[in-house]
Each structure stands twice: as C-alpha cells, then as structure tokens.
Amino acid sequence: MATMGDRGRLVVPAELRERAGLQEGRPVVLVESPQGLLLLTREQLRDIVRSGLEGKDLVDQLLADRQAAASAEDRA
C-alpha cells in the first residue's frame, strides 16, 4: 500500500520500491485505465505495448487502409 502525501506526492514503501526496481529519480509512467491508475517504469510500459503488438503486421495493415481510402475517394 502507498500513501498520498502533501502536494500529491506518492509515498511508496521501501520494500515495494526495491521489488519493483524503483530508485530515486527513475522516471515512471502513470497510465489511467477504467480500473484505476497503473504505475509503470518505461521499460514495463514498452514491454506491455510490444506484447500487445506481437504478431501484428502494422505496415501491411496501414497500406491496406490507405489503399481502401484511396479507392473510396476515386469512387466519390
């Protein structure tokens, strides 16, 4: 459990900071979700995004979307 301090400062217990690898000055990212706030390191966020994109061919999808848009414009 963490405690909200004065001026919105979040106090994270030392044991939790140690397990999470959080040291003073390390950048963290706050992500708002329907379930609440997530506190992540940049590396953790990167890993989540990469795993969500794994196996997707984004370039082919973008090209297909562009070609469909161009075809729709040609028909208009």
SS3 (DSSP) at 24: coil
pLDDT given for residue 28 in this prediction = 92
Tens-digit pLDDT profile for residues 6-47? 899 988 899 999 998 899 899 999 999 999 999 999 999 999
- Which residues on adjacent β-strands are paired with residue 33? 36
* pLDDT band per the 50, 70, 90 thresholds, residue 1: confident
* pTM of the complete model beyond 0.85: no
42 Cβ partners below 8 Å, 6+ apart?
Answer: 27, 28, 29
Q: Check pLDDT > 90 for residue 3.
A: no
Q: Supply 46's token pair.
A: 């990167």
Which alpha helices (DSSP H) does 14-57 contain, by range? 14-20, 42-53
Distances (CA, A) of 16 to 19, 21, 35, 62: 5, 8, 21, 41
Tens-digit pLDDT profile for residues 55-71? 777 778 888 888 999 98
